[in-house]
Structure 1
Amino acid sequence: MTLRDRVAAARRRILGDRPSTADTAGLPVIVPAQPVDLSDERAVTEVVELAMNVGEVLLDSGTGAIDTSKQIAFVAATYGLPDCAVDVTYNAIHVSARRGPGLPPTNYMRTVKYRSLDYTRLEQVDTLLRQIGRGHLGLKPARAALDHIVAADHPYSRKVALSGWALMAAAVTLMLGGSPTLAVVSFITTAAIYGTNVALGKLGLPYFFQQVMGGFMATVPAAFIYKLAIEHSAVVAPYRIIVSGIIVLMAGLSLVGSVQDAITGAPVTAAGRFIEVMVYTAGLVGGVGIALRLTSALGASLPPMQQEVLPYAPLPIMVLTGGLASAAFALASYASPKALTTSFASGAVGAGLVGSILNAGLGPIVASAVAATVVGLAGGLLARRAVVPPIIVAVAGITPLVPGLAVYRGLSEIMAGQTLAAISNLFTAVMVGCTLAAGVTLGEWVARTMRRPRLPRRLLGSRVA
């Protein structure tokens, strides 16, 4: 065996031999699985509806606009519509199917109505896309399979999802250096927040006000626990409870998707998603601020935040709890067992890197950039080996690293009248969040480049034979 063969064999062992659907979506479809009569508008509509329904699930799950567009075009081309113009703008999908000379194009539009995050649904659609790409499914079986996926209930009950969110808060509290007692308080508080917001959501309350309520509920218990501790001469760091609640409430926001869209060439969608993230974060901050004022008026004032770097847990505990928090987030998002395993590994790697770099004194922005890039790369490769959509592992891996501490510190300084320090900390929070999203996007791009199949040059310029 030559050196080149050995290198190739080692590369296959490390990277695996199964690319993700994102790796192959932009490649040309050489032979359609099922040619369609372009003069038959009904047949064209059936193909486009299938492609748009796939795109709806992808966009609903946080997939970037460019990747969603490529998958829609891929499905349409596979079933005989190679000449489709696809545009995804924020929550709207537009498809124009050009049917050839003498025939007017057929135009379609779909508005995506966001539902609760369900990563099992995303995994099942990913599997369906693999089957479509291999030519294993005709149009009608593919439509029936997708309808079944979309109509299915969540794989776990709401109690399991509630446990996932609560477990994530407890793990983050421990990662921040909190005691087991504070972790239990965070668990109970987050469970109460989730249950309350589910009830408010059923009443139709806009998500912004649910974030306000979540921020309020995350702060009040911490204030009264601190008051009780002072009365009994005990030492407690209440900010850990509040910060864990902030991180959990920020976890479901599409920051990664917004930055990915900005980087990959969808600025309008990126702007819409980013404004949405900022508005929901403002609601969360507002809820925390209201709670701080109210508890202060009731005699349960919280102490001001220290300016120096606050201690995290020891590195081994950070690694363990970071992985646990990522797996808990994946569980709360209804991910499959194999996705939970890869999410744990991704979160452990990210938390370990952040802890190591912070201990070296390089600061949170550098730590976030390095950790997120490695999470995007390693998580992307792990996801491909486990046949899991990479976005699940990437988002779960960086979720425990969301800058909840900087957000709370900035808000605390606003309440104390330290405007300049508050602006500095809030700006740091924005920078860390964007760095996390950009780093994981870069890492995933490297993983995708390494795993993308290589076609002969004579095929690269051809869309469909």
Structure 2
Amino acid sequence: MSEPARDAEANRAISLALRVGELMLGSGASTESVTNAMRAVARAYGVRRIEVDVNLSALTLSDVPDDGGLPVTAERRVRRREPDFAHLVALHDLVGEIVADELPLATARRRLRRIDRPAPVHPPWAAATAPALVAASAAVLTGGGPVVALAAFVATLLGDRAGSWLARRAVAEFFQTAVAAAVGTAAAVLMIWQQVPVRASAIVVGAVIALLPGRSLVACVQDGIAGEYVTATARLSEVVFVVTAVLSGIGLVLTFAVQAKVPISVEDAPSAPLSLSAPQLFGAFMLGLTFAVALRVPPRHIPPAAVGALVIWCVFVCLRWLGWPSVLATAVAAATIGVLGSLYGNRVRVPPMVFVIPAIGPLLPGSVLFRGMLKLNLGDVTGGTHFLIEALSAALAIGAGVILGVNVLRALHRTA
């Protein structure tokens, strides 16, 4: 092969590696996974002297040949970031085949183009209602009955549609999220005002859990533990802005409710009963299932994710019964799911997070965030701050526990 032809082939390999990395990062993969995949793709096609730099919005790959050839540096921007685990599974399979020397470069490029234009993995109605179903499931887990679950479903669906309407008009995502949280809170306040005999605040908890960035949270901790501090900081900023938007929407409505003398108190703020009764088990199972649909997990991986949510809830409740502190019980339950997710991922050859992220749904601190904002709006700054710190601690415990579980199994696998 002539030198110009070799250079052209190397450039096509670099372009492929960058495109794979862009799609993986945009679909929710961690920085470490993206970096390893880009290096593997480039090396599989003979580009070996490379350096990869990944941050939350751009990827850079540099090639400095040993033979004195001209160095090449290329960059791609990540313009679309939305969790899509079907994309991740397809990209994981593609990278595996490339590393196994099963795909010529031209074939790999064609496969990647098909992955970038996939058929929907779920019917349109399922994708549209998934966040609302997450909220309804969380409301059941939190102790709300059928009426509250239906109200949470309707309120979250309206909030989601309102957010989509704002998105089409180029309104910032921060305000989309705040409006979605405000709609759920308004529904709960309305039911409390009308003295409907149900646990109306479970509506807010359901709406909040549907909005919390579980994948970004885990990826943030994962990047930090892996030493990718720049990306971890960027992801943390993303999580902070999303949570701030949620709190802003809740706080705005609660402020009006308190000023309007709506009889709302901290006793109205529910928390999930530490119970393994049928409603809680059903709520945890459905929360994992609906989260999986919302994250576009391929259908064959949805049942294991739902079972994982059931397991994480059972472990958490049992540890709390034994007197363990909430944060420690959360971390251990998350680590358990991290181990199980790694076992499942190794068995069926998918990224562990396809199983793990939907499974953490029952532990997301929606009720604690609501309690914190309610106390702040009722004038109890110390109590409100305490609950917000508790929510942050629970969130970090989830992320650290998941990554601990994944790494424990990885270490044991390598030792064996």
Secondary structure in 1 matching 2:360: helix
Q: Distance in 2 between matches of 1:309 and 1:204?
A: 36
Which of 242, 250, 253 matches 1:291? 253
Q: Distance in 2 between matches of 1:424 and 1:375?
A: 28
Q: Distance in 1 between matches of 2:376 and 2:30?
A: 34
Secondary structure in 2 matching 1:135: coil
1:214 and 2:180 correspond: yes
1:193 and 2:159 correspond: yes
Residue in 1 that maps onto 2:230? 268
Q: Distance in 2 between matches of 1:290 and 1:56?
A: 37
- Shift in Å at residue 197 of structure 1? 1.6
Q: Residue type of the partner of 2:333?
A: A
Secondary structure in 2 matching 1:254: helix
Q: Contact 1:36/1:81 (CA < 8 Å) preserved in 2?
A: no
Secondary structure in 1 matching 2:195: helix
Secondary structure in 2 matching 1:377: helix
Q: Contact 1:212/1:284 (CA < 8 Å) preserved in 2?
A: yes
Q: Determine what percentage of the aligned residue pairs are the same residue.
A: 26
Q: Contact 1:342/1:379 (CA < 8 Å) preserved in 2?
A: no
**Contiguous gaps of at least 5 residues in structure 1:** 1-34, 455-465
Q: Distance in 2 between matches of 1:306 and 1:241?
A: 11
Secondary structure in 1 matching 2:47: coil
Q: Residue type of the partner of 2:219?
A: G
Greater relative contact order, per chain length (Cα 8 Å cut-off, separation 6+): 1
- Greater CA radius of gyration, 1 or 2? 1
Shift in CA distance, 395/118, structure 1 to aligned 2, threshold 3 Å: same
- Shift in Å at residue 120 of structure 1? 1.2
Which of 391, 399, 405 matches 2:361? 399
Shift in CA distance, 190/310, structure 1 to aligned 2, threshold 3 Å: closer
Q: Residue type of the partner of 1:77?
A: R
Q: Residue type of the partner of 1:325?
A: L
Q: Distance in 1 between matches of 2:387 and 2:94?
A: 44
* Per-residue Cα deviation, 1:57-90 (whole angstroms, up to 9, x for no partner): 2111222112211110001001111111011122
1:89 and 2:55 correspond: yes
Q: Distance in 1 between matches of 2:220 and 2:20?
A: 20
Paired positions, count: 416
Kindly report which structure 2 residues correspond to 1:23-422, keeping only aligned pairs within 5 A, or say none. Answer: 40-229=6-195, 234=197, 236-251=198-213, 254-305=216-267, 311-422=273-384
TM score, norm. by length of structure 2: 0.94
Secondary structure in 2 matching 1:114: coil
Residue in 2 that maps onto 1:433? 395
Shift in CA distance, 84/300, structure 1 to aligned 2, threshold 3 Å: same
- Shift in Å at residue 270 of structure 1? 0.3
Residue in 2 that maps onto 1:448? 410
Greater mean alpha carbon deviation, residues 302-311 or residues 143-152 = 302-311
Shift in CA distance, 309/192, structure 1 to aligned 2, threshold 3 Å: closer
Shift in CA distance, 326/441, structure 1 to aligned 2, threshold 3 Å: same
**Contiguous gaps of at least 5 residues in structure 2:** none
Q: Distance in 1 between matches of 2:73 and 2:324?
A: 52
Q: Residue type of the partner of 1:189?
A: A
- Shift in Å at residue 156 of structure 1? 2.5
Q: Residue type of the partner of 2:200?
A: P
Q: Contact 2:142/2:270 (CA < 8 Å) preserved in 1?
A: no
Greater mean alpha carbon deviation, residues 35-44 or residues 162-171 = 35-44
Q: Contact 2:143/2:270 (CA < 8 Å) preserved in 1?
A: no
* Per-residue Cα deviation, 1:158-191 (whole angstroms, up to 9, x for no partner): 4211222222111111111211211111111112
Secondary structure in 2 matching 1:159: helix
- Shift in Å at residue 107 of structure 1? 0.2
Greater mean alpha carbon deviation, residues 252-261 or residues 269-278 = 252-261
- Shift in Å at residue 362 of structure 1? 1.7
Shift in CA distance, 145/375, structure 1 to aligned 2, threshold 3 Å: same
Greater mean alpha carbon deviation, residues 265-274 or residues 385-394 = 385-394
Q: Distance in 2 between matches of 1:41 and 1:127?
A: 27
Q: Contact 2:84/2:295 (CA < 8 Å) preserved in 1?
A: yes
Q: Contact 2:201/2:269 (CA < 8 Å) preserved in 1?
A: no
Q: Contact 1:177/1:312 (CA < 8 Å) preserved in 2?
A: no
- Shift in Å at residue 315 of structure 1? 4.3
Secondary structure in 1 matching 2:53: strand
- Shift in Å at residue 113 of structure 1? 1.5
Q: Contact 2:276/2:314 (CA < 8 Å) preserved in 1?
A: no
